[in-house]
Amino acid sequence: MRIIFIDCPQEIPCNPCQSACAAGAIQVPSLTERPRILPEKCVACGNCVAACPGQACFLIDEEYSETEATIEFPFEFLPVPEQGELREARDNEGQTVCLGRVVEVLPRNRWHGTMVVRLAVPKELVRQVRGMARTAAEAQEEGGM
Amino acid sequence: MKTYDVIVVGAGPAGLGAAIESGKAGASVLLADENDQPGGQLFKQIHKFFGSHDHYAGTRGFQIGQQLLEEAARAHVEIRLSTRVWGIFEDGTVSACTEDESFRCRGTWLILATGATENSLVFPGNTLPGVITAGAAQTMVNLRHVRPGSRAVVVGSGNVGLIVSYQLLQAGMDVAAILEAAPQVTGYAVHAGKVRRAGVPVLCSHTVLEARGERELEEVVVAQVDGQFRLIPGTEEVIQADTLCISVGLTPRWELAALCGCKMDFCGPLGGRLPLHSETLETTCPHVLVAGDLSGIEEASTALDEGRLAGVHAAAALGLLSTAESAEREREIQSRIAALRQGAFGRKRQTSKEQIWSRYHQHQGGGL
């Protein structure tokens, strides 16, 4: 099951996450307050992921497979990643957390042209990941995907 | 001589907002801009804006620009581009020139929305080709689709520096580092996160010492600074780069306001010298209003709403809006602006604005 995760650490005047959420799972009571999540209302539509100007909204699936979890985040660089491609998964400080595998690339025709990528990473590391490197990792998995 | 109800100088977000609101109310409006495209910096902004739905949040800047141009057309605003306003005279006439002609016109109300200029830094080599400002970098990659180089160093970790770094990456350049003299990132953490995830280090307590190169920029010498911004000897490092992008703040473009005779003021947190003004953007000159970065450096969303407020003020003064209508519009716009001046990042701007408004009222009341 995919669930919403928001990493919005500062009180900045912003609430598109709330406007994007038709399910009412995100509340920003006043414009500079940090968003509050009502996880039970989240339908995992992913609209907040693409809508957030700060790229601070994510969808996490902790039960993707036995060993892997996935995280979805906006990705605004070309070339468009290929499914199955390996990329360095990065945290918010820019440190590489692990290698991740691109499992889905959502097209850019929604939310003002924002592409969203779903990356599979080892389950125990998914909460650290916030994005991925701009280019494919050099080490490719044997035999492809 | 052609006469307008309102002449707006500067077609950025503030000028567009002012022209739209006064035009919508029925005023005849001339909107003049020295650039060959309207929108000010809006069309260079390919990222999504912050704010709320009412501030166009979540929409990319250039798309906001397109919406505003459509609004301006519906409001019958006459837009004259490549038109530089160079004179404002005591009889209320305005002189402007294009490449081919110089002309005068008269406006009952004048709204100055001249924006800002980018600050520079002084260091050896800062005139080398390849040393550019953040705005120049945005013009090149986002408007002209030309990369200024292949590997950049960016000076300044404010929102502009962070956003420009991200946009250089999007254009296919590498960003070797972002230098910040302060001990911490000064822009939003979420903007810093975006560039860091993409592999760009933000070097805090660092400054640029020198730009070097034979005929053009080849390397940048950087060094660490202490808490008082003093250089720490022995910390010099050399970074290979063909582009050095300076993003160290903006200064209001106050020349026309000063030319009008507007009483000037100084406010560091809002960018320095600026015309004294009220909550509704009146200056000490009758019939002259200001809006946007000229009245204090803030963001495009704030500038747009300040412009709208000035436009409503002018329309009401022209008798095109009833007192009740204009009060309702002003209240609505002011609450949107106030929302953007909340929180840790906005509070200082709110306080600074209040000081300027209070000094304006002292000046007007005191009859100095």
Residue A48 lies in a domain: yes
Domains B2-117+250-366 and B120-246 share a fold: yes
Nearest to B51 among A13, A92, A113 (CB): A13
**Best residue in A10, A14, A134 for a mutation probing chain B (most B CBs within 10 Å):** A14
Residue A11 lies in a domain: yes
All residues of chain A having their beta carbon less than 8 Å from the beta carbon of residue B189 are 9-10, 92
In the chain, the amino acid numbered B175 is: V
**Best residue in A132, A134, A138 for a mutation probing chain B (most B CBs within 10 Å):** A134
Residue A137 lies in a domain: no
Residue A61 lies in a domain: yes
How far apart are the C-alpha atoms of B59 and B252, rounded to whole Å? 26
Q: Do B58 and A13 touch (CB under 8 A)?
A: no
Under CATH, what is the fold of the domain B2-117+250-366?
FAD/NAD(P)-binding domain (3.50.50)
pLDDT attached to residue A25:
97
Q: What is the pLDDT along chain A (145 residues), one digit of tens a residue?
A: 899 999 999 999 999 999 999 999 999 998 999 999 999 999 999 999 999 999 999 999 999 999 999 999 999 999 999 999 999 999 999 999 999 999 999 987 777 789 999 999 999 999 999 999 999 987 554 444 3
In this structure, the strands spanning A131-132 and A116-122 are unpaired
Residue A144 lies in a domain: no
pLDDT attached to residue A139:
57
In this structure, the strands spanning A86-90 and A131-132 are antiparallel
Enumerate residue ranges in chain B where pLDDT < 70: 366-368
How far apart are the C-alpha atoms of B189 and B6, rounded to whole Å? 41
**Tens of pLDDT, residues B101-143:** 999 999 999 999 999 999 999 999 999 999 999 999 999 999 9
Which residue ranges make up each domain of chain B? 2-117+250-366, 120-246
pLDDT attached to residue A143:
41
Q: Write the ipTM.
A: 0.93
pLDDT attached to residue A145:
38
Nearest to A90 among B59, B60, B197 (CB): B197
Strands (E), chain B: 2-9, 29-32, 78-80, 84-88, 93-97, 102-112, 116-118, 131-133, 151-155, 174-180, 202-204, 206-212, 219-224, 237-240, 243-246, 250-252, 264-267, 272-275, 288-290
Note if the bond before A79 is cis, omega within 30 degrees.
Answer: yes
In total, how many domains does chain A have?
A: 1
Q: Do B190 and A19 touch (CB under 8 A)?
A: no
What is the residue whose two structure tokens read 């909107």? B31
Size of interface A-B (CB pairs under 8 A): 127
**Best residue in B48, B170, B178, B200 for a mutation probing chain A (most A CBs within 10 Å):** B48
All residues of chain B having their beta carbon less than 8 Å from the beta carbon of residue A9 are 189-190
All residues of chain B having their beta carbon less than 8 Å from the beta carbon of residue A8 are 190
Nearest Cα of chain A lies from the Cα of B336 at a distance, in angstroms, of: 10
Nearest to A134 among B63, B199, B343 (CB): B199
User: Which residue from B182, B183, B188, B184 is spatially nearest to B166, judged by alpha carbons?
Assistant: B188
**Rounded to the nearest 5°, which phi and psi values hold at A25?**
-90, -10
Q: Which CATH class is domain B120-246?
A: alpha beta
Distance from first CA to last CA of chain A, Å, rounded? 23
**Rounded to the nearest 5°, which phi and psi values hold at B303?**
-60, -45
Instruction: Give DSSP secondary structure letters for B341-359.
Output: T-HHHHHHHHHHHHHHHHH
Distance from first CA to last CA of chain B, Å, rounded? 35
Nearest Cα of chain A lies from the Cα of B284 at a distance, in angstroms, of: 31
In this structure, the strands spanning B151-155 and B131-133 are unpaired
**Which residues does residue B239 pair with via DSSP β-bridges, in sequence order?**
B220
- Which range marks the domain in which residue A49 is found? 2-132
Nearest to A13 among B58, B195, B343 (CB): B343
In this structure, the number of other CB atoms found within 10 A of the CB of residue B236 comes to 13
